[in-house]
Amino acid sequence: MSLPAEATVFAPSTSDRDHLSVLHPTTDLPALRRDGPLVIERGRGIRVWDEHGREYIEGMAGLWCTALGYGVEELAEAAAEQIRKLSFSHLFAGRSHEPAVALAEKLREIGPVENAKAFFGTSGSDANDTQVKLVWYYNNALGRPEKKKIISRRRGYHGVSLAAGSMTGLPPFHQSFDLPLPQFRHVTCPHHYREAEPGETEAEFTARLAAELDDLIRAEGPGTVAAFIAEPVLGAGGVVVPPEGYYPAIQKVLDEHDVLLIDDEVICGFGRLGTPFGAEAMDMTPDTASVAKALSSAYLPISAVLVPDEMVDVFVEAGERWGVFGHGFTYTGHPVCAAVALKALELMEERDLFAHAARAGSYFQAGLRRFADHPLVGEVRGKGLLGACELVADKRTGEAFPMERGAGAYCMERCLDQALILRALGDTVAFCPPLIVTESDIDEILERFGRGLDETLAWVEAGGGAS
């Protein structure tokens, strides 16, 4: 039977189809089943639009990654051009191609590790898994097969694959996934506001954390500890800026025990903290580094592990004994991803984006700190274009809300009502706008946040979320 011409045929929405067919990453699954997804359809500059045509400011640069913002024609063109020329070739068994070489050269020139070669992947997680495998391979090659343990910080985030997930120090990423694996250890998060003893100064706190690390390495046996991994500023664990002098103090301990420092620049790299890389901003001198996200401004998935020549020389020497270096992905150095990343770095240079981000970052930090007086805000923190406000039940004592009250999530939702996308990390509301934000964009972001925060205060005062 054919339908009359005027009959309306309802096509299922993207939301409905999502419900049926997508398993979402890092999501409150029962809440998603109740509320459905937010379907984003297009983006331009620092803004995105949902399936109903509603416009939002993307205050999180997607997942801390769209540095150049959305809709950059030159990046679309770079991808199209490379797809037309050579859509795929690999780097296995001695093959090579120009986009991967040119990108590796660029990273060698600007990256946070001197004289480094690049090993490419497609995500921050695989980069950090590669880090672990390279350190293990390195120590085996040097004839110290016991030196394998990796230390990271509680609340650090390094990804979700088996080794990266083990280094991540956040309970949901371990719980019921049988992580961390046995060779991984965690130390205190360098968050003075939450972790300091009463009356402890930042310098005393730093000294205590360095002593904790030293004690742990001694207790495990320095001959069993291979590396320490750190984000210069912790991102997903709540935007934590370690105290001044923290990294030099940590690094002294690592040097003493011949433990490598792995720098996870997946969020902090490429101008986020007001310097080209986070290591510089935070006074770190890493042995190796992981980069991803802003490397291609998230136009295509690509990551890189930056490994110094001396380490690679050890791998080459080991190859004489062991044969093939057996680590690599089909998409290691994917030519289209590499061409797009190269173009993204070229645009950052042309547009002097790191200097712009440094200026915008100072303006943003000053603006954000105005919320320090707000009754709900326990601490304002951040560096460059990375920031956060931690919401508390008692501003004077810093007492947190009970987790189940969901104050951070409520605030994030009210900001969404204000057409501003932010992210709640527990009760810490995080900001990470694209690096192209202007001062007037920042004013708009902070005004919208202010309204969302005031609504959250009214809700708290009315007993919202309390059982």
Ligand X SMILES: Cc1ncc(COP(=O)(O)O)c(C=O)c1O
Q: Which residues bind ligand X (CB under 6 A)?
A: 63-64, 123-125, 128, 157-159, 231, 235-236, 264, 266-267, 292
Name which of 123 and 418 has its Cβ closer to ligand X: 123
Residues 256 and 212: their CA atoms lie apart, in Å, by: 14
Buried b (16+ CB within 10 A) or exposed e, 191-210: bbebbbeeeeeeeebbebbb
Place of tokens 């995080």: 430
Q: Which of 263, 256, 243, 249 is nearest to 196 (CA)?
A: 243
Name which of 158 and 414 has its Cβ closer to ligand X: 158
- To the nearest 10 degrees (0 to 180), the angle between helices 335-350 and 73-85 is 150
- The minimum distance between CB 124 and ligand X, in angstroms, equals 2
Name which of 125 and 275 has its Cβ closer to ligand X: 125
The runs of H, that is alpha helices, within 323-406 are: 335-350, 353-369
HSE (side-chain half, CA atoms, 13 Å) at 290: 30
- The minimum distance between CB 132 and ligand X, in angstroms, equals 13
Residues 155 and 190: their CA atoms lie apart, in Å, by: 9
Is 336 in contact with 82 (CB distance < 8 Å)?
A: yes
Residues 6+ apart with CB under 8 A from 320: none
CA torsion through residues 195, 197, 200, 203, sign = negative
- The minimum distance between CB 301 and ligand X, in angstroms, equals 7
Name which of 127 and 141 has its Cβ closer to ligand X: 127
- The minimum distance between CB 25 and ligand X, in angstroms, equals 8
Q: What phi and psi, each to the nearest 5 degrees, are found at residue 265?
A: -95, 20
- The minimum distance between CB 292 and ligand X, in angstroms, equals 5
Q: Which two tokens stand for residue 182?
A: 């046995």
Name which of 63 and 457 has its Cβ closer to ligand X: 63
Q: Which of 299, 261, 298 is nearest to 283 (CA)?
A: 261
Q: What phi and psi, each to the nearest 5 degrees, are found at residue 14?
A: -60, -40
Q: What residues pair up with 264 in beta bridges, in sequence order? A: 290
Residues 115 and 233: their CA atoms lie apart, in Å, by: 24
- The minimum distance between CB 33 and ligand X, in angstroms, equals 23
Q: Which two tokens stand for residue 447?
A: 């005004």
Name which of 392 and 422 has its Cβ closer to ligand X: 422
Name which of 235 and 434 has its Cβ closer to ligand X: 235
Name which of 231 and 390 has its Cβ closer to ligand X: 231
Name which of 303 and 456 has its Cβ closer to ligand X: 303
Residues 162 and 153: their CA atoms lie apart, in Å, by: 16
Residue of minimal Cβ distance to ligand X: 124
- The minimum distance between CB 164 and ligand X, in angstroms, equals 6
- The minimum distance between CB 310 and ligand X, in angstroms, equals 25
- The minimum distance between CB 430 and ligand X, in angstroms, equals 11
